[in-house]
């Protein structure tokens, strides 16, 4: 049921009303004339092919601009720029002439998955994924050869006699040159006998060599880059949305008449899971729909957001809070999860040898845990959609374009060929916008006010309340140390707390080389999960970010119990494994000055982990962090310095990787020192940044040193955004133990008294 003060009007009238609110002065205050930035402020691609494309990915204009259309959202990791670099390497074009657009998922559907290449077109950290990289390189090479063939044809010379470089084709014998732009139209119609072979990596001149800055920085720093919340569509109205504060609760009643006469208010609409229409054809969604169902809610639609928000706050709403309200506090939830560590049954993740047959030895047994945390990206959830009977159009800051597209299809029930989706820039997210629950709510609201573009914005309080939080995990480990001090047997179990099974991941837990390489002969690792109403989801390096803390704190405790230096202990335990891990340990330790004498209250710690496939040699990214901390007598933690060594094979853009490691180190540090959400009566207690402390410049931030010496040089160029989030926390915790003798087995560390005298 919807209540409306008036019927939706056509967009031309709305545009007039919006303009009319400005009596004088331009709408374009401070926006300068059109620029030729590499990344346009509204960088969405056309849905249909133009005549001058060399492929769906590449268009070269007569003015020599090289437009590269990419399926990788830009969430801060530089994936959009990276995707363009991949094409550029083989295209041999002038980087300064490259423009990037986000591809159209509508076109992808219509043309049979032309952009959906490699391991899922999702958050694009996988821009250097092997399959996708090869595809992008091939696109570049094939386009280049067509440009060469077009030039050779025009000049009447053998194609073998022409060369391509920096967007120019040259016939060196005659000294003639032609720009790519002058040849593009001809090249578009050329058919090659065979597609060219790719250069070996050793002949690359751009990838792994150059470190260009992210292409969207110029419009970004001028305030012109369009994030999801910035989308402006003619005729657009604004929605403020309220969902049940207890996850899973339902709208019971509301009184729209109380707010319908408030300024600017156009309608009050209800979103309801029962109104999801379902996709009419088989979905190609990356993750499916189980994690993004509509939540019961009510939205106020108004001319401006502030009007919508003000009216929503005045709107009387009653909720059927559901069973979730019975969770009196977080401790009650955690007690249930922790109890599962002792359950009779559990799913066995890994078993080798026979832990039951091992008797004796010194026992090291401890339980570790991490709490609910919120993604807390600075850009709140938002999106814009217009839904009508004949089609839909969506603008959203998704981390996964394919997922968002199919969620929109599923929510509207429209044929995919009538749905269009525009990727905007993405403010952070750190996993929050992979599943598309945000896109679904945006579409669900717009569906209730058809024919008009509706922008829905979650307030910061709503973002905290309606998060899909970091999965809380309890993990217990029990080691029996042999006479040499190393484990004869390790038994471990983890309890995951949450509703969504896809975020009960064991990555970085049972697959650690300690447990897979055979160095510990008897291993038994199992897991349980405890489903609760509070929804969990993806939070940078999901679950891995906990496992790294629990495994690496436990190993450190074993080393201490054995009386063996923690670095030497790890090196021994890695002695049957990929040398890259040991190299990372050695480099990080050397750089931080491992073993040196420090004043009282200071300590060094080290930790290592790998995302996303630790058990497979030569895959993923392994990161070792070494931390130097100082604990004041009052117990304040200062992380003075961090040294990071890593192996992801090779790096495509060294400064992009450095930037990711710096940022991920601070993210992991903040997660470990500060972050914690608590629940009371089923509702998140933290509502905004004033109750959710996060690192700022004025906090004692470490000098972060990123070292490239441990890179193995293997041909893979693996992902870097998640892995460094893991080891920094346990490295700090292990250093705190060295400094104070206090062992921290739960986060956030700010909950612990570290004072000493």
Partner 1 sequence: MAVVNFSVNGQAVQLDADPSTPLLWALRDHLGLTGTKYGCGIAQCGACTVHLNGAATRSCIIPLSAVAGMEVVTIEGLAGEQDHVLQTLWYEMNVPQCGYCQTGIIMAAADLLRRKPDPSDADIDNAITNLCRCGTYPRVRAAIHRAAAQLAGGAA
Pick out residues in 174-213 that bind partner 1 (CB under 8 A): 211, 213
Of 82 and 492, the one with the shorter C-beta distance to partner 1 is 82
DSSP state, 649? B
- Tell me: does residue 376 bind partner 1 (CB under 8 A): yes
Spatial CA neighbour of 541 closest among 721, 711, 390: 721
Q: How many CA atoms within 13 Å lie on the side-chain side of 746?
A: 15
Q: At closest approach, how far in Å is the CB of 643 from partner 1?
A: 14
Q: Are 102 and 115 in contact (CB under 8 A)?
A: no
Of 565 and 655, the one with the shorter C-beta distance to partner 1 is 655
Spatial separation of the C-alpha atoms in residues 347 and 530, rounded to whole Å: 13
- Phi/psi at 735 (nearest 5 deg)? -70, -40
Q: At closest approach, how far in Å is the CB of 549 from partner 1?
A: 18
For partner 1, what does the binding mask look like between residues 261 and 300, x meaning CB under 8 A? Answer: --x-------------------------------------
- Tell me: does residue 221 bind partner 1 (CB under 8 A): yes
Site for partner 1 in 62-101 (CB under 8 A): 74-78
Of 434 and 660, the one with the shorter C-beta distance to partner 1 is 660
Of 123 and 406, the one with the shorter C-beta distance to partner 1 is 123
DSSP β-ladder status, 162-165 and 168-171: antiparallel
Of 181 and 721, the one with the shorter C-beta distance to partner 1 is 721
The pair of three-digit structure tokens given for residue 550, joined into one six-digit string: 């629990």
Of 130 and 304, the one with the shorter C-beta distance to partner 1 is 304
| DSSP states of 399-447 | SBHHHHHHHHHHHH---GGGEEEEE-B----TTTTSS-HHHHHHHHHHH
Spatial separation of the C-alpha atoms in residues 652 and 644, rounded to whole Å: 18
- Tell me: does residue 462 bind partner 1 (CB under 8 A): no
- Tell me: does residue 5 bind partner 1 (CB under 8 A): no
- Tell me: does residue 251 bind partner 1 (CB under 8 A): no
Of 604 and 704, the one with the shorter C-beta distance to partner 1 is 704
**Residue 686, C-beta contacts closer than 8 angstroms, at least 6 positions apart:** 374, 464, 677, 678, 692
Q: Are 75 and 83 in contact (CB under 8 A)?
A: no
**Residue 31, C-beta contacts closer than 8 angstroms, at least 6 positions apart:** 224
Q: Exposure of 131 by Cβ count < 10 A (0-12 exposed, 13-18 middle, 19+ buried)? A: exposed
- Tell me: does residue 238 bind partner 1 (CB under 8 A): yes
- Phi/psi at 737 (nearest 5 deg)? -65, -45
3-state secondary structure 126-143: HHHCHHHHHHHHHHHHHH
Of 475 and 666, the one with the shorter C-beta distance to partner 1 is 666
3: left (phi over 0), alpha (psi -120 to 50) or beta: beta
Spatial CA neighbour of 756 closest among 746, 743, 742, 745: 742
151's enclosing H/E stretch is: helix 130-155
Of 238 and 447, the one with the shorter C-beta distance to partner 1 is 238
**What sign has the CA pseudo-torsion 698, 371, 555, 617?**
negative
Site stretch for partner 1 (CB under 8 A), options 146-154, 159-167, 374-382, 384-392: 374-382
| DSSP states of 674-726 | T----EETTEES--SGGGS----TTS-PPEEEEE-TT----S-B---SSGGGT
Distance between terminal CA atoms of the chain?
66
- Phi/psi at 174 (nearest 5 deg)? -105, -5
- Tell me: does residue 708 bind partner 1 (CB under 8 A): no
Spatial separation of the C-alpha atoms in residues 443 and 466, rounded to whole Å: 17
Site for partner 1 in 325-364 (CB under 8 A): none
Size of the site for partner 1 (CB under 8 A): 77
Binder among 315, 333, 377, 717 for partner 1 (CB under 8 A): 377
Q: At closest approach, how far in Å is the CB of 53 from partner 1?
A: 29
Site stretch for partner 1 (CB under 8 A), options 51-59, 193-201, 333-341, 698-706: 698-706
Task: Tokens 């000055």: give the residue.
Answer: 593
Q: At closest approach, how far in Å is the CB of 659 from partner 1?
A: 6
Q: Are 646 and 584 in contact (CB under 8 A)?
A: yes
Of 134 and 701, the one with the shorter C-beta distance to partner 1 is 701
Site for partner 1 in 668-687 (CB under 8 A): 670
Q: At closest approach, how far in Å is the CB of 71 from partner 1?
A: 18
Q: What is the CA radius of gyration of the chain?
A: 28
Task: Tokens 């399959």: give the residue.
Answer: 131
Site stretch for partner 1 (CB under 8 A), options 102-110, 112-120, 136-144, 700-708: 700-708
- Tell me: does residue 119 bind partner 1 (CB under 8 A): no
- Tell me: does residue 33 bind partner 1 (CB under 8 A): no
Q: At closest approach, how far in Å is the CB of 529 from partner 1?
A: 28
Q: At closest approach, how far in Å is the CB of 658 from partner 1?
A: 9
Site stretch for partner 1 (CB under 8 A), options 179-187, 475-483, 609-617, 689-697: 689-697
Site stretch for partner 1 (CB under 8 A), options 61-69, 134-142, 225-233, 523-531: 225-233
Of 23 and 160, the one with the shorter C-beta distance to partner 1 is 23
Site stretch for partner 1 (CB under 8 A), options 50-58, 87-95, 331-339, 688-696: 688-696
**Which residues pair with residue 179 across a beta bridge?**
168
Site for partner 1 in 599-658 (CB under 8 A): 655-656
- Tell me: does residue 16 bind partner 1 (CB under 8 A): no
Of 79 and 251, the one with the shorter C-beta distance to partner 1 is 79
- Tell me: does residue 317 bind partner 1 (CB under 8 A): no
Q: At closest approach, how far in Å is the CB of 382 from partner 1?
A: 9
Q: At closest approach, how far in Å is the CB of 296 from partner 1?
A: 24
Site for partner 1 in 419-458 (CB under 8 A): 425-430, 457
CA torsion 481-482-483-484 (nearest 10°) is -80
**Residue 632, C-beta contacts closer than 8 angstroms, at least 6 positions apart:** 601, 638
Q: At closest approach, how far in Å is the CB of 268 from partner 1?
A: 19
Spatial separation of the C-alpha atoms in residues 64 and 166, rounded to whole Å: 11
Site stretch for partner 1 (CB under 8 A), options 226-234, 267-275, 512-520, 605-613: 226-234
Binder among 154, 250, 255, 304 for partner 1 (CB under 8 A): 304
Of 55 and 659, the one with the shorter C-beta distance to partner 1 is 659
- Tell me: does residue 380 bind partner 1 (CB under 8 A): yes
């Amino acid at each position: 049921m919807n209540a409306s003060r008036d019927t939706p009007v056509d967009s031309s009238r709305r545009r007039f009303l919006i303009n009319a609110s400005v009596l004088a002065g331009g709408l374009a205050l401070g926006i300068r004339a059109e620029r030729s930035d590499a990344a346009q402020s509204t960088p969405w691609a056309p849905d249909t092919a133009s005549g001058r494309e060399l492929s769906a990915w590449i268009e070269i204009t007569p003015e020599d601009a090289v437009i590269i259309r990419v399926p990788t959202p830009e969430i801060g990791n530089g994936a959009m720029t990276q995707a363009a670099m991949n094409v550029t390497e083989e295209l041999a074009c002038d980087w300064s002439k490259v423009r990037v657009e986000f591809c159209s998922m509508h076109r992808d559907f219509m043309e049979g998955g032309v952009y959906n290449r490699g391991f899922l077109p999702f958050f694009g950290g996988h821009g250097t994924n092997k399959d996708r990289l090869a595809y992008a390189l091939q696109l570049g090479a094939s386009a280049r050869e067509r440009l060469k063939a077009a030039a050779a044809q025009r000049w009447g010379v053998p194609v073998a006699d022409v060369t391509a470089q920096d967007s120019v084709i040259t016939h060196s014998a005659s000294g003639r040159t032609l720009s790519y732009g002058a040849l593009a139209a001809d090249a578009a119609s050329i058919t090659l006998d065979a597609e060219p072979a790719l250069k070996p990596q050793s002949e690359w001149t751009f990838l792994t060599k150059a470190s260009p800055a992210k292409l969207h920085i110029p419009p970004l720093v001028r305030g012109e880059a369009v994030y999801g919340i910035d989308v402006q569509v003619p005729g657009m109205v604004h929605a403020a949305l309220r969902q049940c504060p207890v996850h899973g609760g339902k709208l019971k009643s509301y009184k729209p008449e109380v707010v319908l006469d408030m300024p600017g208010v156009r309608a009050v609409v209800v979103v309801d899971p029962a109104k999801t229409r379902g996709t009419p054809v088989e979905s190609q969604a990356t993750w499916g729909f189980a994690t993004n169902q509509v939540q019961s809610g009510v939205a106020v639609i108004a001319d401006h957001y502030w009007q919508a928000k003000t009216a929503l706050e005045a709107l009387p709403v009653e909720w059927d809070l559901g069973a979730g309200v019975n969770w009196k506090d977080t401790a009650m939830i955690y007690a249930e999860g922790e109890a599962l560590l002792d359950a009779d049954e559990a799913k066995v993740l890994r078993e080798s040898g026979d832990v039951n047959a091992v008797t004796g030895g010194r026992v090291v047994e401890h339980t570790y845990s991490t709490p609910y945390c919120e993604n807390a990206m600075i850009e709140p959830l938002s999106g814009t959609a217009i839904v009508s009977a004949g089609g839909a159009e969506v603008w959203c800051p998704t981390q996964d374009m394919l997922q968002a597209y199919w969620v929109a299809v599923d929510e509207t029930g429209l044929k995919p060929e009538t749905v269009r989706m525009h990727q905007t820039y993405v403010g952070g997210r750190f996993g929050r916008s992979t599943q598309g629950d945000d896109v679904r709510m945006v579409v669900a609201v717009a569906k209730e006010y058809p024919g008009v573009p509706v922008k829905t914005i979650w307030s910061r309080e709503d973002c905290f309340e309606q998060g899909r939080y970091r999965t809380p995990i309890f993990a217990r480990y029990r080691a029996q140390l042999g006479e040499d001090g190393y484990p004869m047997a390790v038994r471990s179990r983890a309890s995951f707390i949450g509703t969504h099974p896809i975020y009960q991941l064991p990555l970085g837990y049972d697959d650690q080389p300690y447990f897979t390489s055979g160095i510990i002969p008897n291993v038994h690792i199992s897991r349980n999960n405890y489903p609760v109403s509070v929804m969990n989801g993806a939070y940078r390096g999901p679950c891995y970010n906990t496992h790294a803390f629990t495994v690496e704190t436990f190993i450190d405790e074993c080393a201490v119990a054995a009386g063996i230096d923690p670095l030497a202990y790890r090196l021994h335990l890695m002695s049957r494994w990929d040398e890259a891990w040991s190299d990372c340990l050695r480099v990080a330790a050397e750089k931080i000055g491992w073993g040196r004498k420090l004043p009282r209250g200071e300590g060094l710690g080290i930790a290592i982990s790998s995302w996303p496939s630790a058990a497979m040699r030569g895959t993923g990214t392994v990161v070792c962090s070494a931390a130097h901390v100082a604990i004041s007598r009052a117990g304040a933690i200062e992380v003075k310095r961090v040294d990071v060594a890593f192996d992801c094979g090779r790096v495509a853009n060294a400064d992009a990787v450095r930037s990711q490691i710096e940022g991920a180190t601070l993210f992991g540090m903040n997660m470990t020192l500060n972050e914690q959400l608590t629940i009371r009566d089923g509702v998140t207690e933290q509502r905004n940044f004033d109750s959710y402390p996060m690192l700022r410049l004025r906090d004692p931030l470490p000098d972060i040193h990123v070292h490239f010496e441990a890179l193995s040089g293997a041909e893979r160029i693996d992902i870097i955004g998640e892995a460094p989030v893991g080891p920094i926390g346990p490295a700090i915790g292990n250093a705190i133990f060295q400094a104070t003798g206090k062992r921290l087995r739960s986060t956030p560390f700010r909950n612990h008294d570290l004072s000493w005298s």
